[in-house]
Amino acid sequence: MLTGEPLDSAILKLPSRPRRDTYFRAARLIFASDPLGKQRPIVAQRFNLAGGARVLYLADDQVTALHEAQAFGFPASSIAIIPVQFDLRAVVDLRDLAVHKLLRTDTAELSLNFRSSLAGNPALTQLLGERVAASLGIDGLLYESPARPGHINLAVIEAALNILGSSLMVNDPNNKLSDSLP
Amino acid sequence: MPNSCVATAPAFREARILREATDENGRYDAAKIAHLLDWTVSDIARYLGRDASTISRFGASPVHQEKLAALASLTQEVFEIMREDLRATRAWFRTPIRALDGKSPQQLILSGNFRRVSSLIEESRSGLSL
């Protein structure tokens, strides 16, 4: 994958589309009262570094979200699957071969486990996410669910929401869950 | 009054792990932590980078305290996630986990990758996504 200035230039050329849908966020039940994770610590994840960009991770359906959660190995722990409505203006599909070509990457590189890089350099997906967040022109990255092939995850780039006029909402009055971003 | 009950609950839970993992002087004891996690003394010796016979004799030595405290703290966090179920906590440490490339937390800790396991627990506070 490209890095540095060539990556920044490529990000400006990435094809993006608006996307509006309801996806699902998996969280430990104890944190469900903060459904959009506004109070969450920014730890290293697939498209962000520890203390870096705020990126919210969603899955395309409840089962995919559950598969993602199960990959942490907490079978005895209660998990909340929270429906999140989103209306994003500039989503880049990282499964698109044209995007691969622009970024000079491939499916294998994009699906690497970023946790394997913790002891060394940041993972390339984390560098990509951080530069995308800094560009303020992209508010979402779609990618294949590592836990459930054939399904997709969405990384919401929170820094771009205000500028692009995008929004996220949780509206579940039966469970007293209500919140929105930005 | 209800507030004070809520406030003391986490402290009580923490005390349970502390009691199980420390000796009468309040020092973390390698053998006690091994017992808590159902690991062998050889396992805990490997974690500490020492010979098992040394650990059997000097398991609560001041030189081991930092690493033992880190392991006790991690155990405490997993114990809380597992709703204070010690059996589930032990099982989590020895179960291959996809987010850890199919390795078990115990395997990673014993091979010097403690940080990868503690990072996963930190990550679980932020959301559960591969």
pLDDT digits (tens, 9 = 90+) for A131-166: 999 999 999 999 999 999 999 999 999 999 999 999
For residue A123, give the DSSP letter. P
Give tens-digit pLDDT for A28-81.
Answer: 999 999 999 999 999 999 999 999 999 999 999 999 999 999 888 887 778 999
Lowest mean pLDDT among A36-45, B1-10, B89-98, B114-123: B1-10
**In this complex, do B129 and A68 lie within 8 Å of one another by their Cβ atoms?**
yes
Q: Which CATH number fits domain A4-172: 3.90.175, 3.40.50, 3.90.940, 1.10.150?
A: 3.90.175
Share of chain A above pLDDT 90, in %: 85
CB pair distance less than 8 Å for A76 and B83: yes
Q: What secondary structure letter does DSSP report for A16?
A: -
pTM of the entire structure?
A: 0.87
- Alpha-carbon distance of B97 to A112, in angstroms, equals 15
Q: Is the pLDDT of residue A95 over 50?
A: yes
Chain A nearest-CA distance from B56, in A, is 31
Distance (Å, rounded) from C-alpha B54 to C-alpha B48? 11
Tokens 């500028």 correspond to: A163
Per-residue pLDDT for A117 more than 80?
no
Per CB-CB distance under 8 Å, the chain B contacts of A58 are 129
Nearest to A180 by CA among A54, A84, A55: A84
Taking an 8 Å cut-off on Cβ atoms, the answer to whether B126 and A37 are in contact is: yes
For chain A, which residues lie within 8 Å of any Cβ of chain B, measuring from their own Cβ? 25-28, 31, 37, 40-46, 56-59, 65, 68-79, 113, 115-116, 118-119, 145-147, 153
